[in-house]
Amino acid sequence: MSDAVGCEMKFGVFLPPSAQNNPKEKLPVLYFLSGLTCTEANFTQKSGFQRYAAEHNLIVVNPDTSPRGLSIEGEDDSYDFGSGAGFYLDATEEKWKKNYRMYSYIVDELLSVVAANFAVDTSKQGITGHSMGGHGALTIALKNPGTFASVSAFAPISNPMECPWGVKAFTGYLGSDRSTWAKYDATHLVKEYNGPPLDVLVDQGDQDDFLKNGQLLPDNLLTASVGTKVKLQLRMQEGYDHSYFFISTFIGDHIQHHATHLNKKN
């Protein structure tokens, strides 16, 4: 039972073979945040991350994307708001503010639960995600300097204040004051980031329909990152869309990216 969101929350944990052979050895940990409509199961079943995580000796944790089954009016009315669409923020609007607190769930609760129950090295944490989860990974890393030593994203919602998905979610969860929206928008947060330097990898398919219709806006994030302490590498992948086939193709690169940073000598 989660105190942050007021219901049972599920998450997956992958332990590499070394963790099973030497359960007291503390290992780096990578958090993967999924996108709209997903549960904790999608990444585990579809991405093929396991062989790469085993190769690089990483623990991988993948949580659900929202509270479930709360009987809040309207929570199941659409795919891009409510159930499966928590947007990794803390809602302030009356109907949602008690339970839709996915930011606090990840930052204040999940990280602590994982550290208390698994042999993770909390000085070597990485975060990544896809689409809405890419938005979550970027904003959580930028809002918590020093917590994550490595960051990446697949087709993230990079500037939600300026796209239909983000406007709908932010209006519903946070209200109409756009100044509060900027607290959960990576394109705005990157300009203010003043933590340790971050080397961020972003992959984006050039045949992604959500790129074409203005939901993702990665170029806005890239432009905003120039001159900051965030070194953003945006790779446009020819012929790829928004699917888990895209993720499974490049997940090895992303785990390599995280392993390189997480296994650096302190």
**Residues catalogued as catalytic:** 131, 208, 242
Q: Kindly tell me the burial class for residue 58, based on how many C-beta atoms sit within 10 Å of its own C-beta (0-12, 13-18, 19 or more).
A: buried
Q: Dihedral of CA 159/187/248/208: which sign?
A: positive
Strand order in the sheet with 27-33: 11-14, 59-63, 27-33, 120-129, 150-154, 198-205, 230-237
Are 157 and 208 in contact, with CB atoms under 8 Å apart?
A: no
> By C-alpha distance, which of 8, 144, 21 is closest to 64?
8
Helix (H) or strand (E) holding 204: strand 198-205
Residue whose token pair is 């012929």: 239
